[in-house]
Amino acid sequence: MDNKDESKAKALKSHRNVARLNRYHEELPPTSLPRGQEGEQQPSDLRAAVHRQEEEQQSSPPIAAPQQDVPVGFVNQKEDLRLSSEEITRLRQKAAVRHHLAAIVRDSLGTMSPATMPTADLEALIARLSEEQQKYLADPVAPEVWNQILFDLPHHLDAAGLLGPLLRDKSIVEIMVNGPDCLFVERVGGQIERWPEVFSDEEEITSTVNAMLAHTGGHLSVQSPLLDGRLPDGSRLHGVHADLSPQGTCITIRKSQELLTMNSLLHNGTVDARIARFLRACVRSKQNLLISGGTGTGKTTLLAILCREIPQQERVVAVESISEIQFDLPNAINLETRLPSEEGKGEISPRELIRNALRMRPSRIVVGEVRGGEALELLQVMNTGHPGSMGTIHSSSARNALARMQTSTLLAGIDLPMLFVSQLVSDALDFVVHLKREASGVRRVTAVEEVLHLEGGTILTQTIFEWIAEPGKQGHHAATGLPPRRLEEIEEVDDLPDNFFREEM
């Protein structure tokens, strides 16, 4: 028997105990993104099938299994987050091996798991992996790297592939892929970190995206270079094909978060107790609210939390490009826009959905993000018997949010005088809540502005609450001492203390 046959025989002998494989399979938590059809059993754990031969296990200590609640490890947490060309080459080599082995295992397993695979087939798979091990060990892949690849392999067998561990890590809220060699994540606290793994090539990125969105029919390609979709767990995915970016295919995944509450914002310092109470009262008293801020400031999060303050007996319809608002209401509906097909047909715009929402007997309408002409529809909703409606808009300040609402209204394609548009915005909106994201990653409500009236073509406002930054110190929220003009309406649902709007309570 030659060395190759002897090695294969040892591998088979050390893995004949299928019960041991079953035990490992039962210990691993279920994958969040199955690759096969719904209801089919999926591959979960091949650790027992890929353990090193007994002699190798004795010569080098095995890699300890990570605890399920421990976040994935990260590197380069200093200012320079770039990787050297040598590091990228090493990581790409590892990624190519991992991708190759995962393809072998998926082809062999089909819709089976290792626990249900016939013994003969399982032994053949183990033998094939052993052959691949010998082939790759002849190349410059260190034994410890090979061992780590095999250990990590079960986590890369579902549709998410390389991104699977990040999707399962609860401390990560956003995943950013800037081509095959550049992956970043955002943690719950707002920290941006680089992930020390890469994709093997462009094909692996696009195949991963298309597998993750197979249930929606979404497809990223040269013909369809832009893609928006929602993963089975509610996470939002945006993809840009390499044809449009010199960095390569780009993916941004905003993970679906557990239902947050106003107490969560209090704990994070986004609001203080007074602002939290005031915003609750605004929602319950049916004030029309516009939430503004830059990208990643938490606009949608605040909107979703405010929606949880809507009384249970109301009927609410939300219009979004990708549904993110999770209502805690028995009579609420989420509507999603639809992009046109490759033939340019089938588009459903936000404006069309808002117009149809009006026929669904809503108490309020919520618009996830105002980007264009749908601003006109939202303002008309707020002005015509649907008080308490809300929306978000990108802006640099609360004042800028009003200007952007006017500009967006003009994009509706209707020839409207500017004075009429300004009057419409002034009449429709009651309060603007502005958020900013600090350099540390913390998100803050920096202003709560009341919209007063139109005077000389200018929309007048007054600041009710603001964030006061103190250099070298911890800033704080403060009232300006100006009570809102709509205080009587607000106090119908919450009898606020006399000193509530004083600078110091």
Q: What is the per-residue DSSP string for 163-212?
A: GHHHHH-TTEEEEEEESTT-EEEEETTS-EEE-S---SSHHHHHHHHHHH
Q: Which residues, listed in sequence order, are joined to residue 468 by a DSSP beta bridge? A: 476
Q: What is the pLDDT of residue 505?
A: 62
For CA atoms 256, 259, 261, 266, give the dihedral sign.
Answer: negative
Q: What is the pLDDT of residue 229?
A: 86
Q: What is the pLDDT of residue 492?
A: 96
- Single-letter amino acid code for the residue at 227: L
CB-CB contact of 450 with 484 (8 Å): yes
Q: How many CB atoms lie within 10 A of CB 82?
A: 9
| CA 349 – CA 368 distance, rounded (Å) | 13
What is the band of 463 on the pLDDT scale with cuts at 50, 70, 90?
Answer: very high
For CA atoms 389, 437, 181, 51, give the dihedral sign.
Answer: negative
Number of residues in the chain: 505
- Single-letter amino acid code for the residue at 134: Q
CB-CB contact of 300 with 325 (8 Å): yes
Question: Rounded mean pLDDT of 248-253?
Answer: 94
Q: How many CB atoms lie within 10 A of CB 66?
A: 14
| CA 432 – CA 204 distance, rounded (Å) | 44
Tokens of 290: 């516009």
| CA 176 – CA 156 distance, rounded (Å) | 18
Beta strands in 371-457 (DSSP E): 390-394, 431-437, 443-455
Could you tell me which residues come within 8 angstroms of residue 204 by beta carbon, excluding any fewer than 6 positions away? 95, 99, 161, 162, 180
pLDDT at 70 over 80: no
For CA atoms 443, 448, 451, 457, give the dihedral sign.
Answer: negative
| CA 391 – CA 371 distance, rounded (Å) | 11
Question: Rounded mean pLDDT of 358-364?
Answer: 96
Helix (H) or strand (E) holding 422: helix 418-428
For CA atoms 102, 103, 105, 111, give the dihedral sign.
Answer: positive
Residue 159: helix, strand or coil by DSSP? coil
Q: How many CB atoms lie within 10 A of CB 435?
A: 25
Q: Which pLDDT tens digit goes with each residue over 377-414? A: 999 999 988 999 999 999 999 999 999 999 999 999 99
Beta strands in 191-274 (DSSP E): 192-194, 226-230, 236-240, 250-254
In the β-sheet with 250-254, what is the strand arrangement from edge to edge? 192-194, 183-187, 172-178, 250-254, 236-240, 226-230
Q: Which of 139-153, 199-213, 289-303, 370-384 has the lowest mean pLDDT?
A: 139-153
From the CA atom positions of the chain, what is the Rg in Å? 27
- What mean pLDDT, rounded, does the chain reach? 79
What is the band of 145 on the pLDDT scale with cuts at 50, 70, 90?
Answer: low
Q: Which pLDDT tens digit goes with each residue over 416-456? A: 999 999 999 999 999 999 999 998 888 999 999 999 999 99
Range ranked top by mean pLDDT from 64-68, 84-88, 317-321: 317-321
Question: Rounded mean pLDDT of 481-490?
Answer: 96
What is the band of 503 on the pLDDT scale with cuts at 50, 70, 90?
Answer: confident
Show contacts of 452-457: CB within 8 Å, 24+ apart: 452/426, 452/485, 453/426, 454/422, 454/423, 454/426, 457/418, 457/419, 457/422
| CA 160 – CA 124 distance, rounded (Å) | 26
What does the DSSP assignment read for 72-117? Answer: PP-B--SS-----HHHHHHHHHHHHHHHHHHHHHHHHHTT--TTTS
Share of residues in the chain with pLDDT > 90 (%):
47
Q: Which pLDDT tens digit goes with each residue over 96-111? A: 666 666 666 666 655 5
Q: What is the pLDDT of residue 105?
A: 66
Helix (H) or strand (E) holding 335: strand 332-336
Domains of the chain plus CATH, in order, are 3-63+72-156 (no CATH), 163-254 (3.30.450.370), 262-490 (3.40.50.300)
Report the candidate in 411, 406, 368, 360 with the shortest Cα–Cα distance to residue 386: 360
Range ranked top by mean pLDDT from 12-16, 19-23, 60-64, 328-332: 328-332
| CA 123 – CA 131 distance, rounded (Å) | 12
Q: What is the pLDDT of residue 58?
A: 39
What is the band of 9 on the pLDDT scale with cuts at 50, 70, 90?
Answer: very low
Question: Rounded mean pLDDT of 146-155?
Answer: 61
Question: Rounded mean pLDDT of 348-370?
Answer: 96
| CA 204 – CA 179 distance, rounded (Å) | 11
Share of residues in the chain with pLDDT > 70 (%):
69
CB-CB contact of 327 with 318 (8 Å): yes
Question: Rounded mean pLDDT of 136-151?
Answer: 58
pLDDT at 195 over 90: no
Q: Which pLDDT tens digit goes with each residue over 116-141? A: 556 666 566 666 666 665 565 555 55
Helix (H) or strand (E) holding 14: helix 3-14
396 compared with 145, residue with greater pLDDT: 396
438 compared with 14, residue with greater pLDDT: 438
Q: How far is CA 194 from the centre of its chain?
A: 17
Q: What is the pLDDT of residue 151?
A: 58
Tokens of 4: 């190759």
Q: Which residue has the tokens 């699977």?
A: 164
| CA 389 – CA 286 distance, rounded (Å) | 7
